[in-house]
Amino acid sequence: MATATATGTRLDLYRQIARQLRADSIRSSTAAGSGHPTSSLSAADLMAVLLSGHLRYDWSKPKDPANDHLIFSKGHASPLVYAIFRAAGVIDDAELLTFRKFGSPLQGHPTPILPWVDVATGSLGQGMPIAVGMALAAKRLWDAPFHIWTLVGDSESAEGSIWEGFDLGGHEVLPNVTPILDINRLGQRGPTELEWDTDAYAARIESFGWEAIVIDGHDVGAIDDALARARDASVPTAIVARTIKGKGVSFLEDKPGWHGKALSPDEAKKALAEIGDEPSRTFDTAKPEAWRPPQANSKTPVLKTYTEPVATRKAYGDALAALCVANSAVISLDAEVSNSTHADEVKKVAPERFFEMYIAEQKMVSAAVGMQVIGFRPFASTFAAFFTRAYDFIRMAAISQANIRLAGSHAGVSIGEDGPSQMALEDLAMMRAVHGSTVLYPCDGNQTAKLVAAMADRGGIVYMRTTRANTPILYKPDEEFPIGGCRVVRGGAASDKVTVIGAGITLHEAVNAADALAKEGVQVRVIDLYSLKPIDAKTVAASVNATGGRLVVVEDHWPEGGIGDAVLAALAGARVNAVRFVHLAPRKMPGSGKPAELMHAAGIDADCVARAVKELLG
């Protein structure tokens, strides 16, 4: 009966760890006076068995590429996350009790300020598709031995993004990721939609091409078996665990009104007595076997050069393909429009590094976040308008300290006949308002190539807006375009009367206006603001000062939050006074039409720029 005894000992150990995870979840949240202890208690058994029986992780080397990954998609169960770190011995009791306090890395929801956290969670429905995206790159490009675990809440399964994650895992057949669904029946304000209907969860999961293992999430033996089966499975496998919110504390178990509420010190004392209050200790986690991913090659990319008009979206695709050739860490994701964004150029040179995300922008951005965790350099592309679909994911990616590159094509009214649903007119506002973001908007093929190359090495959320139409070549291939810079493309003399600022498609309108005005003897200075954020406030300010404060900004974007707002903020920051400002931007809802018709109707073509200049000059 040695085996039975060994099993018994193992199960006892799991139970002991679970008790500690519960106790520490209560201790930390009670010390904080807030947090989500009951959402932690429901998953304590699941995580105890994972930690001690199945996770392969070297806690002393969180960056070891051989490590498993554990992503709490239900990020509000952060007391459990930190209790795990305490059980692993990487934080001590005193640190645990800094939970949610100012300056502590143990924030209300987990973020990668802690080295054992891959991504920030807390906006629900994100950790799971991030985990699946990570699994996709790990399997396809490395056949990596590590496994990815993600704890998913039942409430968050109402988010469509969870089903985008299941869709991806099923379609790509990813057995190296295991979502563990913590079906504790209670959401924030009451019962979840499906309560304890684990069969319904299983049916949904299976319909997306996965196997679902339904278990009692407090039966450590069943958990043990399920985790083992999931790790060894050759098909995508998820665990659906029926649990009890607040499990282990009688007055919390399955009781409404306890979501997101810490126990008072008295209540905590009672709860800890019930759980069995012992000093917390450190438990072993199995280390992974040594493994390194293939060495990434990295050369200087050989960028295509242009002499004839080309769409910047095409130049984007060309440059991305060149980057893929030069650097095996560079990857491309696209939401079923790669023949429009021209990300399909990647398929010609590195088909295995092109990831088709179908029409699911949330999935695309979360997959990109997951893939950058393990060292890839993702570029994700779709129509600029459709990045609005993923704004929550982009915002969260900034909190995750993720390095992702986003390219949005078909921006503005200048796309023409397709009409307003396809016209990004708010993307610059959206992307500027992301913490630490970079926002680029090139106007010609050669500039695009250089900026795409710069994106590969740039940290944070880096956004490029590209244009549908072919645009003339303004720059030579050997010119440089540092991020944070701008270019004076017309004028530059002390005699310039007005500064005109454009970018992308409108830069050409500004240039055409300047050339027409020059023939009439009116000298204007045209600035190509290819880098909206960071912005070259110094050059912009000096130019506006030099032209007597007269300024025209012309952009293919709603008046709010785009180039106009960026320029005004830069000028205000530079204490430039006496500005006389005309802002040309679409102000009515556009319809369909030829690009030139729509740009004229929006007041942003060369004629409108010339008229604005003349108005400013009186």
Residues classed as catalytic: 361
Instruction: Using the minimum distance from each CB to a second copy, give the nearer residue, 8 or 190.
Output: 190
Instruction: Using the minimum distance from each CB to a second copy, give the nearer residue, 48 or 335.
Output: 335
Q: Which of 276, 309, 589, 614 is the binder for a second copy (CB under 8 A)?
A: 589
Instruction: Using the minimum distance from each CB to a second copy, give the nearer residue, 45 or 164.
Output: 164
CB burial of residue 263 (10 Å; 0-12, 13-18, 19+): buried
Binding flag, residue 522, a second copy (CB under 8 A): no
Q: What is the token pair recorded at 476?
A: 């030579």
Binding flag, residue 235, a second copy (CB under 8 A): no
Question: For residue 432, which amino acid is it?
Answer: R
Query: 198-234 burial string, b = 16+ CB within 10 Å, else e?
Result: beebbebbeebbbbbbbbbbbbbebbbebbeebbebe
Instruction: Using the minimum distance from each CB to a second copy, give the nearer residue, 62 or 105.
Output: 105
Stretch that binds a second copy, among 45-53, 271-279, 283-291, 588-596 (CB under 8 A): 588-596
Helix axes 606-617, 505-519, angle to 10 degrees: 50
As measured in angstroms, the least distance from the Cβ of 495 to a second copy is 23
Binding flag, residue 337, a second copy (CB under 8 A): yes
As measured in angstroms, the least distance from the Cβ of 390 to a second copy is 8
Q: Which of 17, 26, 32, 186 is the binder for a second copy (CB under 8 A)?
A: 32
Instruction: Using the minimum distance from each CB to a second copy, give the nearer residue, 78 or 448.
Output: 78
Distances (CA, A) of 441 to 77, 176, 532: 40, 38, 7
Binding flag, residue 480, a second copy (CB under 8 A): no
Binding flag, residue 536, a second copy (CB under 8 A): no
As measured in angstroms, the least distance from the Cβ of 125 to a second copy is 7
For residue 298, the cross-strand partners are 327
Query: 9-19 burial string, b = 16+ CB within 10 Å, else e?
Result: ebbebbbbbbb
Binding flag, residue 123, a second copy (CB under 8 A): yes
- Among positions 49-88, residues that touch a second copy (CB under 8 A) are 75
Binding flag, residue 171, a second copy (CB under 8 A): yes
Binding flag, residue 198, a second copy (CB under 8 A): no
* Residue 238, H or E segment: strand 237-242
Instruction: Using the minimum distance from each CB to a second copy, give the nearer residue, 103 or 279.
Output: 103
Binding flag, residue 28, a second copy (CB under 8 A): no
Instruction: Using the minimum distance from each CB to a second copy, give the nearer residue, 439 or 449.
Output: 439
As measured in angstroms, the least distance from the Cβ of 389 to a second copy is 4
Binding flag, residue 208, a second copy (CB under 8 A): yes
As measured in angstroms, the least distance from the Cβ of 279 to a second copy is 26
Three-class secondary structure of residue 246 per DSSP:
coil
The DSSP line for 212-233 is EEEEETT-HHHHHHHHHHHHH-
- Among positions 554-583, residues that touch a second copy (CB under 8 A) are 558-562, 564-566, 568-569, 572-573, 575, 577-581, 583
Rounded to whole angstroms, the Cα distance separating 422 from 415 reads 8
Binding flag, residue 351, a second copy (CB under 8 A): no
- Among positions 426-465, residues that touch a second copy (CB under 8 A) are 426, 429-430, 432-436
Q: What is the token pair recorded at 119?
A: 């991504």
Q: Mark out the alpha helices in 374-444 (DSSP H runs).
A: 391-399, 427-432
Binding flag, residue 422, a second copy (CB under 8 A): yes
Please state whether 96 falls in left (phi above 0), alpha (psi between -120 and 50) or beta. alpha
Binding flag, residue 39, a second copy (CB under 8 A): no
Instruction: Using the minimum distance from each CB to a second copy, give the nearer residue, 258 or 283.
Output: 258
As measured in angstroms, the least distance from the Cβ of 105 to a second copy is 8
As measured in angstroms, the least distance from the Cβ of 435 to a second copy is 6
Binding flag, residue 236, a second copy (CB under 8 A): no
Q: How many residues bind a second copy (CB under 8 A)?
A: 112
Instruction: Using the minimum distance from each CB to a second copy, give the nearer residue, 195 or 267.
Output: 195
Stretch that binds a second copy, among 243-251, 273-281, 421-429, 522-530 (CB under 8 A): 421-429
Binding flag, residue 264, a second copy (CB under 8 A): no
Rounded to whole angstroms, the Cα distance separating 294 from 14 reads 36
Residues 6+ apart with CB under 8 A from 263: 26, 29, 30, 37, 252, 271
Q: Answer whether 80's CB lies under 8 Å from 21's CB.
A: yes
Binding flag, residue 498, a second copy (CB under 8 A): no
Give the rounded distance of the alpha carbon of 564 from its chain centre: 26
Binding flag, residue 35, a second copy (CB under 8 A): yes
Distances (CA, A) of 348 to 327, 344, 414: 15, 7, 29
Residues 6+ apart with CB under 8 A from 57: 67, 68, 70, 88, 285, 286, 287, 288
The DSSP line for 450-468 is HHHHHHHT--SEEEEE--S
- Among positions 352-411, residues that touch a second copy (CB under 8 A) are 358-363, 385-386, 388-389, 391-392, 395-396, 398-399
Question: For residue 515, which amino acid is it?
Answer: D
The DSSP line for 84-125 is HHHHHTSS-HHHHTTTT-TT-SS-SS--TTSTT--S---STT
